[in-house]
Amino acid sequence: MTDTRLLDQGTAPTRYARGWHCLGLAEDFRDGKPHAVEGFETKLVVWQDSQGELNALDGYCRHMGGDLTQGEVKGDQIACPFHDWRWGGDGKCKQIPYARRVPLRARTQRYETVERNGQLLIWHDPQGSAADHDILPPELPDVMTEKYTPWSWHTKDINGSHCRELIDNVADMAHFYYVHFAFPTSFRNIFDGHTATQFMESKGRPDTAGGGYGDENSTLKSVATYYGPAYMINWLEVDYKGFVTEVILINCHIPTGPSSFRLQYGISVRKPEGLDEKTCAYIAERYTESFGDGFLQDVAIWENKVAVQNPLLCEEDGPVYQLRRWYEQFYVDVDDIKPEMTDRFEFEVDTTKANEFWHAEVAENLARMAADGETVGH
Amino acid sequence: MASFVPRSPETLEDQRLYTEDRLVEVACLDCLARVRVKKNSDHQTSVQWSAEARSACQEFVRRDAGPGRRDVHKPCSRLMASIDDAVRAGAVSVGAYDGY
């Protein structure tokens, strides 16, 4: 028996989470062509039918495996490039032009679709249940109107990490200082049912040239809620030298394999009153850039770390175990969801000691930089 | 069926320590909700609700019935005051034990 702490890397699940997953901006699928989306270890085909509805099916034809994403939209259906089998949005084969009749069993994997806040969401469930519309993310009032800038939408493929690494951030107070260069002055979590929320207030570090969180002139009030396993809405109030901007950040992902996922994020900014369109667009682009940089800071960590099933925590850490217990509900059969996975849990992190230390460290850094004649490279 | 499966049995003990150990029951002074509480320091608080307590909390019942979009409810102020009382009365000890 050794008293050396061992890392338990655990075994990743063999399935993908049940719940709503966002595929991107709905608008981007509306050009009458089939679109390919990697997800759930396969490829999906997405297209718009003549009624304007968006449809999502497994991308491979059940006949001989042809790639439907390279097919053609014919009427309401997607036609396979191999033998022209026509598939409807309900997952049924509607027509085989050269055949007397369509086999009764010609049904493929279909994903229920919903448009929400200008985005296309699909329901994924390995058990094949009907979509649960009661747990959709909420509609965002005024977003998609002239009061907000249009979504600035971005995609980033992450390889070598399970998407739970991204979820862990919800409970991770201290990484905001080390990875995102901000002092988290207040940090709380609430997990309740299918939602997991992080409440945070932070201020940028003056000794770093930080991006979204790390600008010393800005103070953030952030409420970030996961609605299910893969879709987070982050309401941010950014105070930049007394000028307050409301920013909405969507952070969502689709798992693509056991250790890869596609991260997508979108930003919409409430247009400050009295500013012209050009300035509003400029502000939105700056925020998009800086929060995009924030994700890249996380990615650098994820790409090099190992999975750990038994994290060792100190008193200043957030409730990682409870967060993972919450996340587990999306990976077990509905009948196997235990009460503690969905029961409400509240946690407030004590940030006092951490901030005392961090402020002292930053003061030292600034003094050393002053002595060396260095400046913070903004 | 567990999904993320630990390889070491000791991990299960860690899970228990971090999620269950040292939780103390606290009853709300204003309603029938009974929750489990842990305080690792003056500013740190963990509150573990059950479905029963969640539906007994009058504050949450009111908020659930309120207008507007489904929102994530902030903590119930009555329960938080009850926890402060329990701490003052010495029913909930303050302090961590090796990080949990």
Q: Which residues contact residue A111 at a Cβ distance below 8 angstroms, ignoring those fewer than 6 apart? A: A44, A56, A57, A122, A123, A124
The per-residue pLDDT for range B53-92, each reduced to its tens digit, is 999 999 998 888 776 545 677 899 999 999 999 999 999 9
What are the sequence ranges of the domains in chain B? 24-88
pLDDT higher than 50, residue B1: no
Output B3 or A202, whichever has higher pLDDT.
A202
pLDDT at B2: 53
Interface confidence, given as ipTM, is 0.95
Q: Does residue A253 sit at the B interface (CB-CB below 8 Å)? A: no
Taking CB atoms and an 8 Å limit, are B7 and A309 in contact across chains? yes
pLDDT at A374: 83
Taking CB atoms and an 8 Å limit, are B4 and A324 in contact across chains? yes
Interface mutation vs chain B, best among A187, A321, A342, most B CBs within 10 Å: A321
The per-residue pLDDT for range A30-52, each reduced to its tens digit, is 999 999 999 999 999 999 999 99
% chain A with pLDDT above 90: 85
Chain B residues in contact with A117 (beta carbon < 8 A):
none
Taking CB atoms and an 8 Å limit, are A309 and B4 in contact across chains? yes
DSSP string, A215-241: -TTEEEEEEEEEESSSEEEEEEEEEET
The per-residue pLDDT for range B17-28, each reduced to its tens digit, is 999 999 999 999
pTM equals 0.95
Find the mean pLDDT for residues A1-13: 87
The dihedral formed by the CA atoms of B18, B22, B25 and B30, expressed in degrees to the nearest 10: -70
% chain A with pLDDT above 70: 98
Using CB atoms, which residue from A8, A349, A350 is nearest to B8? A8
The per-residue pLDDT for range A209-226, each reduced to its tens digit, is 766 677 888 899 999 999
Chain A residues in contact with B40 (beta carbon < 8 A):
315, 350
Taking CB atoms and an 8 Å limit, are B5 and A10 in contact across chains? yes
pLDDT at A6: 93
pLDDT level of residue A338 (50, 70, 90 thresholds) = very high
Q: A176: which DSSP letter?
A: H
Taking CB atoms and an 8 Å limit, are B50 and A339 in contact across chains? yes
